[in-house]
Amino acid sequence: MKLNPKADLLIPDQTEGPTAFARTTHLGIGAHQDDLEFMAFEGILACYDRSDRWFGGIIMTDGRGSSRKGPYAGWTDDQIAAERVKEQHAAARLGQFSFIAQLGYQSKEVRGADQTDPVDDLVALLAAARPEVVYLHNPADKHDTHVACFARCIEALRRLPPSARPAKVLGCEVWRALDWMVDSEKVAMPVSARPELAQALNEVFATQIVGGKRYDLAVLARRTANATFHDAHAADTESALQWAMDLTPLIRDDSLDVTTFTLGFLERLQQDVAARLRRAY
């Protein structure tokens, strides 16, 4: 496999590369180091301590522009980028990933439809792994780099022959929660199991947490809130829950316009709010 020269590949259990890719059943593709642990924990859980399921990860950017203070306040972008690679390695080992590929692009190098190198890398990795389930950023995320990475992923998936595409593609919560979606369209991802693993994975990313953002607390709190607030009339059945948007139609039908598809969720929310107000008045 040929990836761009900045790419970093780690196979935590030192299995041969082709085997590590081929055994991957669940694949997360995130913009930054820590995104997979925050948004695709369902996939990590599904594969943890299993020999028949394996979680693989792809990180598209180097994360050099992240917030920093405290002990990291004086660090250069290069130092932060190098440390974030090490943190992702540690998370991959802790989470028993099949592989973690960090592509090392700067954010500006994944933004815009003319950025074909990231798509080429993604196509190569997707073709080698052929996962059953893929976790992406959702297209309604409010972080521009997350949305750009989502777009490059859809482009890559659509370049695969239909027979090589995953059975399910999910858009996950990070920089915008998905609790606003109409309930019938939410994909529930229960993540109550192994809370100690969830916390340990989040805490790996010290450059982010000590560096000024308490993601370790916020991500777990969102999962708890989702579990409690998803049903007003029933007792909680999970202690932690994440929502996802089903993106599978976008790779089943290449003619679907991504913007129209995404805005459809907002239109259906608007209709739901209007109907409730009409019932109240």
Predicted pLDDT at 50 = 97
Q: Residues 6 or more apart from 271 whose CB is under 8 A from it?
A: none
Predicted pLDDT at 41 = 98
Q: What is the pLDDT along the chain (281 residues), one digit of tens a residue?
A: 799 999 999 999 999 999 999 999 999 999 999 999 999 999 999 999 999 999 999 999 998 888 777 888 889 999 999 999 999 999 999 999 999 999 999 999 999 888 899 999 999 999 999 999 999 999 999 999 999 999 999 999 999 999 999 999 999 999 999 999 999 999 999 999 999 999 999 999 999 888 678 899 999 999 999 999 988 888 888 999 999 999 999 999 999 999 999 999 999 999 999 999 999 99
Q: Say if residues 247 and 265 touch (Cβ distance below 8 Å).
A: no
Predicted pLDDT at 211 = 66
CA 235 to mean position of chain CA atoms: 29
Predicted pLDDT at 210 = 83
Q: Say if residues 258 and 139 touch (Cβ distance below 8 Å).
A: yes
Domains of the chain: 8-280 (3.40.50.10320)
Sheet holding 168-172, edge to edge: 8-10, 99-105, 55-61, 26-30, 133-137, 168-172, 241-246, 186-190
Predicted pLDDT at 113 = 83
Angle between helix 215-229 and 195-203 (nearest 10): 150
Predicted pLDDT at 71 = 87
Predicted pLDDT at 32 = 97
This prediction's pTM: 0.96
